[in-house]
Structure 1
């Protein structure tokens, strides 16, 4: 997907989804030891400009010593999610982190299904501001927010 599109040639949702999936599957997960360890079973469910939705089952390596989702896993998801939200704008290079903040609000345990909502609030020429919300999917009920974060990146 090319960033050189004119406003009249906006990318379709299918093109955005393909771009984000290729970024995840072909480049990020296989080449990042940390992503390969902490978020190997992540699946992108949908992607539109500025909004990506992913799901991931909680695995043993993502837990803390008390058996619940480790804060490091949440921080990793906020870092990853901010990048893919920016990538949904058609860019290939999403920059470097300048600020990341994560709030842990609830717990998840092994086998729980997480839904990760990634939103690019603003993508400018040099800075991007994103929010990521991680929810535990609960059958027959509203999902529960496990953690949320804000991620600011300098676009290079």
Structure 2
């Protein structure tokens, strides 16, 4: 297991215990890969991720953008991932119960005070094709060492 993957998983465990919303929405998430500045996770869509129309709720995608942006920063070696200053999400497709999602968090730039991240949420089909469900950008205020 890489240092970056261990770092992301360690930071996630700290966040999970301190954030009931993340624990509720992302309890079964599998963080399976990380390199410096990028990590990947997967999750199967469950009923509590859905809106009243039976498809993936927009607030889920916004929450994942917040979560994954922070963990992308953690993959750069930071223990504290800062506070959000801006989140933007584009909703491009949808998913339903039982669909598998692959989530990529990417730290595009981690500066002295700000970090800029991109998060992509894809639905994976049985033939391993990917459809982008949502793509977000997330800016966080951070304090580096």
Give the TM-score category using the shorter length. over 0.9
Render the CA deviation track for 1:24-64: whole Å, top value 9, x for unaligned.
1x211122111011111111010000000000111111100
More strand as a share of residues: 2
Q: Indicate the residue corresponding to 2:76 in structure 1.
A: 89
Please report the TM-score for the alignment, with normalisation by the length of structure 1.
0.89
Q: Which residue is 1:144 aligned to? A: 131
1:18 and 2:16 are equivalent in the alignment: no
TM-score of the superposed pair, with normalisation by structure 2? 0.95
Q: 2:96 maps to what in 1?
A: 109
Tell me the number of residue pairs that the alignment of Structure 1 and Structure 2 aligns. Answer: 143
SS at match of 1:102: strand
Query: What is the SS of the residue equivalent to 1:106?
Result: coil
User: Which residues of 2 match residues 1-156 of structure 1 at below 5 A?
Assistant: 14-24=2-12, 26-156=13-143
Q: Unaligned regions of 5+ residues in structure 1, if any?
A: 1-12
Question: What SS does the aligned partner of 2:102 have?
Answer: strand
Q: Deviations over 1:80-139 (max 9, x none)?
A: 000000000101111100000001110100111000011000000100000000000112
- What SS is found at the alignment partner of 1:109? coil
Q: By how many angstroms is 1:141 displaced?
A: 4.5
**Cα-Cα RMSD:** 1.0
